[in-house]
Amino acid sequence: MTDHAAVDAAPGGPAAARPAVRRGVSVERTWLDEGSWVDVVRAWVEGAEALYDTLVAEVPWSRSRVFRYERWVEQNYEAASYRLAESLPDPVLRDATRALRARYNVAFNGFSLVRYRDQRSSMAFHRDTDLRWLDDTVIALLVLGARRPFLLRPRANRHAHGMPAKGASHDLAPGHGDLIVMGGRCQQGWEHSVAAVDHPVGGRVSVQWRWTSGTGRPFAGSSYRAPLYFDH
């Protein structure tokens, strides 16, 4: 089931010479279940190629490690984060934050970024459990660079081995300034993944805003970054 609405940029209007949030673009909402939805806006930011180049060049990217069983494993993607009070790599990111605040009526005070260098960079199926309260969330992703799979699957499929696309039911395939917003109970009942691909593909940057209402039962499991050990 889908419906359409409009999302506007922050006041001030885009300048033709720099990246800008587009006004009045169509928003396609898909209901994943009764309480979970995802919005997609194609080409939400114009000048996306220039913005991608700026972020690759200006952001202080770092690569973290996680302990998995017997050794430290370096993540195959890079990350960074900003608060709105900081100097941002491009002013369009402040405009985008304001536009998202206005549409979804939630308080985003900053954002994180993830950089995938090529087809080998990926992120496995997961939920954003670091938010802890998952019953009512809004997670927005502005995707820049190469178009590649962005998969969604119901958690019920996570143990269904041998299913095509590891049980994914949706591929939103964002890129080139597209916006994806996951909301409601999506982080409770669904998982998402940036899948590796088996052919050469260019780099990708995801700008990510996260919010939770803090209602419902908090997530009681370990963080994704928590160490994992063999059972003895």
Residue 18: pLDDT above 60? yes
Q: Across residues 88-93, what is the average pLDDT?
A: 97
Please report, rounded to a whole number, the percentage of residues in the chain having pLDDT higher than 90: 71
Sign of CA dihedral 48, 113, 21, 8: positive
- Domains belonging to the chain, first-starting first, are 2-14+21-212 (2.60.120.590)
DSSP states of 171-182 as a string?
E----TTEEEEE
Work out the mean pLDDT of the chain and round it to a whole number: 87
Instruction: Considering only residues 218 and 68, tell me which one the structure prediction assigns the higher pLDDT.
Output: 218
112 three-class SS: strand
Token duo for residue 21: 């949030």
CA angle centred on 132, ends 31 and 85, rounded to 5°:
95
Model pLDDT, residue 162: 80
Residue 113: pLDDT above 60? yes
Residue 181: pLDDT above 90? yes
Model pLDDT, residue 63: 84
